[in-house]
Structure 1
Amino acid sequence: MSQSMAIEVRSVSKNFGVYQALKSVSFNIGGNEFFTMLGPSGCGKTTLLRMLAGFESPNSGSILLHGAEVNAIPPHKRRVNTVFQSYALFPHMTLEQNVAYGLENLGWDRTRIKRRVGEMLERVHMSPMAKRKPAQLSGGQRQRIALARALAPEPEVLLLDEPLSALDLKLRQAMRNELRTLQRDTGITFVFVTHDQEEALDMSDRIAVLSAGEVQQIGTPTQIYEEPANRFVAEFVGETNFLDVDILEAGAGEATVRMPFGLVLRVPANGYAAKGQATLSVRPEKINLGDQAQGATFEAQVTNKNYMGGYTHYTLDVGGTMLCASRRNASREGDTIPVGATVQAGFVSGAARVLAA
């Protein structure tokens, strides 16, 4: 990933009447980076994307593309293209005409257009269908053409507004791989908007998690999942157990906590320096059962189980405190721990985390 900055968002705020969609948002996106804005509906991610494209303007703050402020530059004069959720293909045009359309508007000569259209159709594996029209394509094929059309003018930045949401599960998974490959092959900065945490974790170099118009955390997929900055990030990205704990001692990024069922252990903490009550997060897959239990161990009763193929999810009762655990099924028979059984459970202290509110 290049260290040069493709995009700089500096203290950007946006109001729609009395509603504040964005509240002094700042972040940078590197050249040749796959950057994802992740969050629930209404968090401000699409508003940010529209600002990068030039369809909306900030009320305050500035947006820079490769070091130049673009607040006052209209969309057609930015080297930025957008792939929309609906794909927005021209139904009366063939696929090659759809891809060529933007190049014609830019004034490219016919020979150059023909060569570039051929290159792009080949890149998205659609050359044999060049003479077809969009109505003759599947959803995944239409998405490939939308990508080819957006990439054809050689933009510096490609914006993707939830382009996978209309596809079925298997096709979404396949297209995630294709998008990541396209980004690596072209070297173009991709800015991807989604509410799907799995998409974000799978494809991104870095993720910005947004909520209520503010950036909650920016980091690599591993950082976002393993080291959530606060309760919102831990809850929105993946599944987790939240436990009310007493902080007995804190400092230097760690805290000694007492669990609701009496267990005392030292765990990573986000900025806590005082005693008191706090929230502890432990991911279900970090809790090991039976002969796999290690670290801080305790007895638990299995009150429910859900077989999910590769994994079995368990609900555990630990002295009146309910926990979820997830165990990989390594054999054909799957997991054999029955409901009602009392088992040893445990997790290493580094797998838990004291969270900011």
Structure 2
Amino acid sequence: MTRPEAIQVTGVSKRFGDFRALDDVSFTIHENEFFTLLGPSGCGKTTLLRMIAGFESPTEGSIALFGSPIDTLPPHKRRVNTVFQSYALFPHMTLAQNVAFGLENLGWAKARREARVAQMLEMVHMAPFAGRKPAQLSGGQRQRIALARALAPEPRVLLLDEPLSALDLKLRQAMRNELRTLQRETGITFVFVTHDQEEALDMSDRVAVMGEGRVQQLGSPGEIYEEPVNRFVADFIGETNFLPGEVIETTGERARVRTPFGPEIVAAQTGVTAPGPATLSIRPEKIGLGDEATGTVLTGTVVSRNYMGGYTHYTIDAGGVALRVSRRNAVSHSEEGFTVGREVRVGFEPGSVRVLGQ
């Protein structure tokens, strides 16, 4: 069953003088979806979020909310709220007053307003601190209050502009879980902007990977990680090995390709229409070492070894080609490992390779 469309972005472009921040962007966000705009600084993701919020207007194209155009509506007339990176809490107000602020502006009756504030503070586990001021809170607690204030007026869409970037690693991980839980509990469409690929993969139903003002790929986290459509996406999402290859022939979504190691393999391909040079992408965790080396098997030398707790990362020199390999530490850090200078078997299966057009 197809879910209703919450946001429709159609042919949107945005120019600031001679600079084109967005270039003919089109996509749809479904109701009750956790949707993420992911990309590096300057890719246009925050500009797009500000257009949905009403703080910027498209130079070309249109944006609709649940089927109704909103391009000419001021921000306060859109049922859209925004959580900013800086939280933007009022320092002179208590937490309860911060959450109630938007409800007062909307003219909610006192009893209804107080009930909603209590409900929101309870939802974000901040009810015992209702009388405190923002300066008395940690970064994570201020983030919760910013969320409560944004959710209180019952928006149909919640926009989140890199809200976790100022938090430390453990707190970011905890807040990711809380955000996902809040989205499921409220049923509100969340549109999340981040440059952090891990956040996007962890929380999202779908991700739009943006680069150079365009949507490079839109899909589920699994799709964009396992099936990148171009080199930009493969490089931005996670780590990967890029190897030169030569396409011999293509058949539908498969290509017969010669690897830099000599053997020909048949692998999934995107954007390749004719024989010729191509780029092969192989994720580090898809490459086996030692007894785990299968498929195309080579002999290489360990150049570097970096222990990272759950994983150990290796660089292997395989006939002059440097391969990055990630190996899960299933037993303990004292396993024999593959020491620097050691000769090892290294291998990958054809199904681990993605062939990308030049």
Moved over 2 A (4+): none
SS at match of 1:274: coil
Partner of 2:355: 354
Partner of 2:207: 207
Partner of 2:27: 27
Q: Which runs of 5+ in 2 are unaligned?
A: none
Q: Which amino acid aligns with 1:31?
A: E
Percent of aligned pairs with the same amino acid: 67
- Give yes or no for contact 2:229–2:271 (8 Å, CA) kept in 1: no
The offset of 1:2, in angstroms, is 6.4
TM-superposition CA deviations, 1:284-325 (whole Å, max 9, x none): 000011111122222121111111111111111111111100
SS at match of 1:269: strand
Distance (Å, rounded) in 1 between the aligned partners of 2:259 and 2:305:
24
Q: Give runs of aligned pairs for residues 155-304 of structure 1, distance below 5 A.
A: 155-304=155-304
Distance (Å, rounded) in 1 between the aligned partners of 2:357 and 2:24:
21
The offset of 1:116, in angstroms, is 0.1
SS at match of 2:270: coil
TM-score w.r.t. length of structure 2: 0.98
Q: Which amino acid aligns with 1:245?
A: G
Partner of 1:122: 122
When the two chains are superposed, the root-mean-square deviation of aligned CA atoms in Å is: 1.0
Partner of 1:336: 337
Name the count of aligned residue pairs: 357
Deviates most, 58-67 or 293-302: 293-302
Partner of 1:137: 137
The offset of 1:334, in angstroms, is 3.9
- Give yes or no for contact 1:2–1:31 (8 Å, CA) kept in 2: no
The offset of 1:255, in angstroms, is 1.0
- Give yes or no for contact 2:6–2:65 (8 Å, CA) kept in 1: yes
SS at match of 2:198: helix
Partner of 1:89: 89
TM-superposition CA deviations, 1:202-242 (whole Å, max 9, x none): 00000000011000000000001000010000001100000
Q: Which amino acid aligns with 1:338?
A: T
TM-superposition CA deviations, 1:39-65 (whole Å, max 9, x none): 000000000000000000001100000
The offset of 1:261, in angstroms, is 2.0
TM-score w.r.t. length of structure 1: 0.98
Deviates most, 321-330 or 261-270: 261-270
- Give yes or no for contact 2:150–2:158 (8 Å, CA) kept in 1: yes
The offset of 1:355, in angstroms, is 1.0
Distance (Å, rounded) in 2 between the aligned partners of 1:336 and 1:97:
57
- Give yes or no for contact 1:248–1:256 (8 Å, CA) kept in 2: yes
Distance (Å, rounded) in 2 between the aligned partners of 1:229 and 1:52:
27
The offset of 1:335, in angstroms, is 5.1
- Give yes or no for contact 1:289–1:343 (8 Å, CA) kept in 2: yes
